[in-house]
Amino acid sequence: MVSQGAILTQASSYVTITNTHFNTTGNASNQFPGSMDCESSGCGAGEYGVCELVGQCYSCAVDVCHQCPPGKYSAAGASDCQPCEVGKFSNVTGRKSCDTCPSGHYASADPNDTDAKGSISGATSCVVCPAGTYQPYEKSYLCYLCSKGYSSAKGSSKCTGCDTGRYTSASGMSDCVACDSGKEASEPIAAFECDKCVSPMSSWAGEANCSICEENYYLDGECSPCPENAYCPLGTLLKNIHVDKGYWRVNTKAAKTRECTNTGAACKGGNGSSYCQDHSHGPYCAICDLGYWKASEARRCQSCADETAVVIDTKSGILLGIASIIVILLLVQTGLRYKRGTALGRHYMDFMENYSKLKTKL
């Protein structure tokens, strides 16, 4: 301890007292001349001493220094630690300065903070801005909500306007939503709502505008009612009208459908360039392709190389012929049953014998 009444300094000298407990006398105006520094604890940067204020000076414990806690810092010789300034943070002990939070982040005392509002000072963490918010500047303690029509991902320094056909109806949205089918976005970019299409116009989901026809209409410059014996789903064009089975149209530029009255089996319908069954074409699908044939107008075309079909038809003809002959012979036999002795009867018996031989061969 400094003895009471001892001379510590003269007017022409400069003395710094560190880590020294001392007693003082006198009043605040004459304890120490201006040439003496009595505010230092003697601790290094990032530390602070155990001191108490006595008059205008600090009395500090000798060789006692502590590290500044997270969220605070100190310069060399500090008697206390200072909280990190706005937008800065310190997440370890013993810091001589605090780190700056970059854009897209904010300073907070809670490392798990998610509400985009941190701490004005004394922050211990630098937290990423949540999705739907942004922060364009460094040294911030909060993030701003994206406006309607905009969205953002985590850690964004700016918000992005919704793409064509998409929208956000509220602020702070993390992603834009596609407009429903039958609606169009209110704006080409950064839309905040979707407007209903004027019937019979419609749209696909997420489309920029109403450019197709609703169900039961087809588009050919403008929307027209679907023709009879056809089906027009959403977005139908003249060229892909869906023709019912049993009907046909001249080409994809003709809206009118025609019934295949005699060739119903050949007209498959559909929405392609051909409304005929395989291997058939022409008006009402009545013509078979080269190498194909059909037994009647109502049947489908089949390959001429199909031996099975040919054999079946040949056998059917033979059996029909045999059956006809048998009927005729029965009639003849009935008429000649009493004339077996005549020449005609003998010829008849010879014929029957030859017929039996022929039948055996078949």
**Model pLDDT for residues 81-98, shown as the tens digit of each residue:** 999 999 999 999 999 999
Q: Which of 160, 156, 119 is nearest to 139 (CA)?
A: 119
Query: 67-144 in CATH: which number?
Result: 2.10.50.10
Asked if the bond preceding 200 is cis, omega within 30° of 0, the reply is yes
Query: pLDDT class for 350, splitting at 50, 70, 90?
Result: low
Say if residues 105 and 129 touch (Cβ distance below 8 Å): yes
- Alpha-carbon distance of 244 to 133, in angstroms, equals 54
Residue 111's pLDDT is 93
- Residue with more model confidence, 205 or 357: 205
pTM: 0.60
Residue 342's pLDDT is 56
**pLDDT exceeds cutoff 50 at 150:** yes
Query: pLDDT class for 327, splitting at 50, 70, 90?
Result: low
**pLDDT exceeds cutoff 60 at 34:** no
Say if residues 41 and 68 touch (Cβ distance below 8 Å): no
Burial group, residue 162, by CB count within 10 angstroms (0-12, 13-18, 19+): buried
**pLDDT exceeds cutoff 90 at 216:** yes
Integer CA distances (angstroms), 19 to 42, 43, 48, 51, in order: 6, 8, 11, 9
Residue 243's pLDDT is 94
Extents of the domains making up the chain: 67-144, 146-193, 239-304
Tell me the DSSP string of 343-358.
HHHHHHHHHHHHHHHH
What does pLDDT average to over the chain?
80
**pLDDT exceeds cutoff 60 at 149:** yes
Residue 98's pLDDT is 96
Task: Name residue 265's amino acid.
Answer: A
Residue 63's pLDDT is 74
- Alpha-carbon distance of 118 to 144, in angstroms, equals 12
- H/E run at residue 67: strand 57-67
The helix/strand/coil state of 360 is helix
**pLDDT exceeds cutoff 60 at 8:** no
**pLDDT exceeds cutoff 70 at 332:** no
- Please write the tens of the pLDDT for every residue from 230-280: 999 999 999 999 999 999 999 889 999 999 888 778 888 888 777 888 888
Across the chain, which distance is largest between two alpha carbons, in Å? 182
Query: pLDDT class for 139, splitting at 50, 70, 90?
Result: very high
